Amino acid sequence: MKIAVAKGDGIGPEIMDAVIGIFNAAKVPMDYVYVDMGKWVFDKGFSNGMTPEAKQTIEEVGILFKGPMETPKGKGVKSVNVTARKTWNTYANDRKFQTLSGVDTVFSKAGIPIDLTIVRENIEDTYGGIEHMLTQDVALGRRFITRPGSEQVIRYAFEMAKKKGARRITCGHKANIMKLTDGLFLEVFKEVAKEYPELKSDDVIVDDLCMKLVSRPDLFDVIVLTNLQGDIVSDLCAGLVGGLGFAPSANIGDHISIFEAVHGTAPDIAGKNIANPTSLLLSGLSMLRHLGLMEQAVMIENALLYTLESGVHTGDFGDKNIPAVNTTQFAQSIISNFGKQPAHHPKPFLPNFYVTPTNFKLEHNPMLQSDLREVHKIVGVDFFIESAEQPQKIADKCLLHATDKLKLVTITNRGTQVWPSGSVFTNLVNQYYCRFEADNENVVSQDQVIDLYRSLAKDFQICSLELLNMWADKKAYSLAQGQ
Ligand code: NAI
């Protein structure tokens, strides 16, 4: 079984050598193809941080095991980590957080065991990076949540929860505020949940989820979230089990998956052979399990847990009364503990089942097809305009351009209605949106929208516009606060 390995920058080569050394000692049946990715590849002039040969190898073998990589600052280049996740559509970020003996936390001291998996959507949301300055004072970001994208990650979470025998699967969201975006994610979660009646599923608003996670993390098992909320909640969970050094990360796609440490390149300790390889090792163990190499994964994980329990530690954690070991000694310790069982939470033996990554080329895009066939119509338009005038002045001008077909219904500033009614206490910035709608949800043509654009542009600088859509009798836009 071949996998691609990119050692990474900073402490990357040290911790990768330590982990591959452990895999070799455990006779993991894998061939490693080393590929060129990271800062020095950027420096050689490859703007995406990887050589074409690296890209080809990864696409052929389907699995990338990577160390941390540095993104050069201020050169206008994008993070190679994010590029890799997006290019290969690794839509599910799976991060496991568990109590590790020898890694003291408030929960381990209180005897509360943690065994959590956060599945974070990895492609969409604000990470599309679609942002525009509407005026010099106002920036606007777009947030994509799609039905097929949500379904992919939610289905992965349910399948994983089922295989793991999870006690509970929870959707974290903010659908009470973001009714269309988070609302869609939650709707898809509830639809997919119907296919898994054997799993206990529920949903929790993300702020409440954070509060519950820091007080009773043991009540949760698998949690699935949108990208940004998942990013934040997963680091919160890393804190619950002792920090990023103990948090593995798997980026799962249908054809290519990436396993990596979540911490950075630690330039302050690079080259000193003192870095902690645990996060990369745990990510490597997720990789072995993903590939069906259960026997080796269990043996190495039990040896790691035994090693931690016996107090062996690198300088970044553990009992300060016991001298720290270096990276190589830590790895050697794990190897010498092969076959030993930890006293707490030993992993059960499971036989291997090999999964060979398929040699795959995407010839069509299945997510382009939608089964939904509701009748669509445009019933209005929001014009985003730049203006430093008071709402009534703006309304007076807009009313001159409104037509019988498209009537002015509301003006808002930062999402809060300021016309026809509002409060003098609402603070204003120099960008409004003015909503024009047809009476009785009548159909509006794109030509009518363009005519109104031309007319309004005589009086205003228009920054952007957004059509007001309806599918069947469902409004596909939010109301202004106070409308
Ligand atoms: P960092 O995670 O590299 O370091 C933060 C602190 O944690 C440092 O004191 C470091 O010594 C310590 N640390 C991190 N990993 C450790 C380990 N395995 N063992 C012992 N101590 C460890 O974060 P920082 O300094 O913000 O970022 C440094 C570089 O890493 C940046 O260029 C950044 O772009 C990159 N980075 C890469 C990531 C990736 O490849 N996935 C993720 C995060 C940052």
Q: Is residue 463 part of a domain?
A: yes
User: What is the helix (H) or strand (E) element at residue 17, kind and residue range?
Assistant: helix 12-25
Is the same domain home to 49 and 179? no
Is the same domain home to 120 and 215? yes
Give residue 218's pLDDT band: very low, low, confident or very high (50, 70, 90).
very high
The helix/strand/coil state of 213 is helix
Is the same domain home to 64 and 103? no
Is the same domain home to 228 and 109? yes
Across the range 339-348, mean pLDDT stands at 87
Q: Which two tokens stand for residue 390?
A: 């008071």
- Cβ 264 under 6 angstroms from ligand 1: yes
Q: What is the CATH number of the domain that holds 390?
A: 3.30.70.1570
The residue count of the chain comes to: 483
- Cβ 275 under 6 angstroms from ligand 1: yes
Is the same domain home to 112 and 40? no
Across the range 66-82, mean pLDDT stands at 82
Q: Is residue 368 part of a domain?
A: no
* pLDDT over 80 (residue 364): no
For 205, half-sphere exposure in the C-beta direction (CA atoms, 13 angstrom radius) is: 8
Across the range 407-434, mean pLDDT stands at 95
- Tell me the C-alpha distance between 149 and 337, whole Å: 43
Whose alpha carbon is nearest atom 23 of ligand 1?
264
Q: Is residue 197 part of a domain?
A: yes
> pLDDT: is 325 or 358 the higher one?
325
Residue at 228: amino acid letter: L
pLDDT of 72: 78
Q: Is residue 300 part of a domain?
A: no
Look-up: residue for tokens 């994509």? Answer: 144
Residue at 87: amino acid letter: T
Across the range 80-88, mean pLDDT stands at 85
| Domain count for the chain | 3
Q: Which two tokens stand for residue 239?
A: 């804190």
**Pair 123, 86: CB distance under 8 Å:** yes
Q: Is residue 227 part of a domain?
A: yes
Across the range 15-39, mean pLDDT stands at 96
Of 294, 329, 357, the position where a domain reaches its end is: 357
The per-residue pLDDT of the chain, averaged, comes to 93
Is the same domain home to 240 and 110? yes
> pLDDT: is 334 or 81 the higher one?
334
- Tell me the C-alpha distance between 266 and 165, whole Å: 36
pLDDT of 359: 56
Q: Is residue 157 part of a domain?
A: yes
Of the chain, the percentage scoring pLDDT greater than 90 comes to 78
Is the same domain home to 33 and 114? no
Q: Structure pTM?
A: 0.91
Q: Is residue 298 part of a domain?
A: no
How many Å lie between the centroid of ligand 1 and the Cα of residue 265? 4
pLDDT digits (tens, 9 = 90+) for 155-185: 999 999 998 889 999 999 999 999 999 999 9
Q: Is residue 163 part of a domain?
A: yes
Is the same domain home to 110 and 198? yes
Is the same domain home to 136 and 236? yes
Is the same domain home to 349 and 380? no
Find the domain containing 64 and state its range.
Answer: 1-89+268-278+306-357
Is the same domain home to 100 and 238? yes
How many Å lie between the centroid of ligand 1 and the Cα of residue 266? 4
Give residue 413's pLDDT band: very low, low, confident or very high (50, 70, 90).
very high
Across the range 18-38, mean pLDDT stands at 97
Q: What is the CATH number of the domain that holds 154?
A: 3.40.718.10
Q: Report residue 403 CA to chain centroid gap.
A: 44
Q: Report residue 108 CA to chain centroid gap.
A: 27
pLDDT of 82: 81
Of 330, 357, 384, the position where a domain reaches its end is: 357
Question: Starting at the edge strand that comes first in sequence, how are the strands of the sheet with 169-173 ordered?
Answer: 31-34, 2-6, 63-66, 257-261, 248-252, 92-98, 115-121, 222-225, 169-173, 201-205
* pLDDT over 60 (residue 279): yes
**Pair 260, 276: CB distance under 8 Å:** no
- Cβ 249 under 6 angstroms from ligand 1: no
* pLDDT over 80 (residue 250): yes
Is the same domain home to 408 and 349? no
Across the range 191-197, mean pLDDT stands at 97
Whose alpha carbon is nearest atom 31 of ligand 1?
70
